[in-house]
Amino acid sequence: MHSTIQVDLDSLWTYQDYLNMETPELSCDPIYSQSVQSFLDLFAKYDLKATFFIIGKDCRNTQQIECIKAIVEQGHEIANHSMNHLPDFANLNFALQKQEIVESHNLLKSIINKDPVGFRAPMFSINEKVNNLLEELGYKYDASIIPSAIFPLLMNSAHSLLKLRPVNMRSGGIRFAKAPKSIYNPDKQDICRRGNMQIKQVPVGISNLFGFPMHSTYVFTVGKFLFDSGFNFCLKNNITLHYLFHGIDLLDLNRFSIKLPRFKSLSRRQGICEYIVRKIANNSQVRTTGDLISI
């Protein structure tokens, strides 16, 4: 069985911005000053290479640039997570979408000395227009689809429960449930269907329990059995797993005023993250996403 491990390095400011909180001026975002090293240590312990999705705006800070270089030096892949992590990305106007991808691409390229080949839209907000643009720009893969019917419902209800800004899932959401669960070349008119585009879709892994998402956020909330059920299903059926973490998973949130359900105890989250990484490392061949799509 093959797998990839992916980390969205959404900085603390993305959460503060999203929660309409003030964003204090910091010399280095805590996701970079703390979480990155924790992830690098964890991946080094199990000798595996992962893919880090990075926001272009974070590439303008010297300390953060050093962190990105450290990620690359350890053999991990850097992918593009847009310039400003704007909400409702799929419905932005075309010129702004292009600017968000290209500006971030160029900044990342200047740090890693090569073209990033992978993209994930902020909050998985993807559609055909963005996918076609990525292909035009020479991207080899997009990883913005969660092929789950329940994910948009969970996301929308969690956000209304927390009285957050409403999330517009029009651009994808429920129709992504019909997308293939393993890597595929999408169709130009319908990214949920197999077609003959060059770019590949790398769908985020879901569990086999009603298609419930199983990335770390949901495992913290529901429990380890959610990961086990999805992982064992992939193992049994030889399905490639693309497992997703977020930078915030290994951040001590008690030091900040952000309150996320089931994120209170860092040691509990560290335990769950290590459990997941150990199980993936011991039972599958882990490659960076860029490497996996080229074999």
The residue ranges that bind Zn ion (CB under 5 A) are 8, 10
Residue entry with tokens 């720009």: 137
User: Could you tell me the smallest distance in angstroms from the CB atom of residue 120 to Zn ion?
Assistant: 7
Instruction: Name the minimum Å distance from CB 119 to Zn ion.
Output: 12
Residue closest to Zn ion when measured from CB atoms = 10
CB of 4 to Zn ion, least distance (A): 17
Find the shortest distance in angstroms from Cβ 286 to Zn ion: 22
- Residue linked to tokens 């290479």: 49
CB atoms within 10 A of CB 235: 16
Q: Which two tokens stand for residue 42?
A: 């964890």
Q: In the complex with Zn ion, which residue's Cβ is closer, 122 or 230? A: 122
Is 8 or 58 the residue whose CB approaches Zn ion more closely?
8
Beta bridge partners of 3: 241, 286
Output 52 or 233, the one with its CB closest to Zn ion.
Answer: 52
Residue 10 vs 29, nearer CB to Zn ion: 10
Work out how close the CB of 246 gets to Zn ion at its nearest, in angstroms, rounded to a whole number.
7
Give me Rg for the CA atoms of the chain.
18
Distance CA 74, CA 277 (A): 17
Least separation in angstroms between residue 19's CB and Zn ion is: 14
Q: Closest CB to Zn ion among 87 and 180?
A: 87
Tokens of 86: 């704007």
185 or 221: CB nearest Zn ion: 221
CB of 1 to Zn ion, least distance (A): 27
Contact 278, 286 (CB under 8 A): no
Is the CB of 13 or the CB of 227 nearer to Zn ion? 13
Tell me which amino acid residue 216 is. Answer: S
Measured distance CA(97)–CA(174) in Å, rounded? 22
Q: Is 71 within 8 Å of 40 (Cβ atoms)?
A: yes
φ/ψ of 83, rounded to 5, equals -75, -45
Nearest CA to 51 out of 64, 35, 63, 68 is that of 68
Q: Which is nearer to Zn ion, 209 or 260 (CB)?
A: 260
End-to-end CA distance of the chain: 14
Our separate counts of H helices and E strands in the chain read 11, 8
Q: What three-state secondary structure class fits 93?
A: coil
Least separation in angstroms between residue 81's CB and Zn ion is: 6
**Nearest CA-CA partner of 259 in 34, 21, 31, 7:** 21
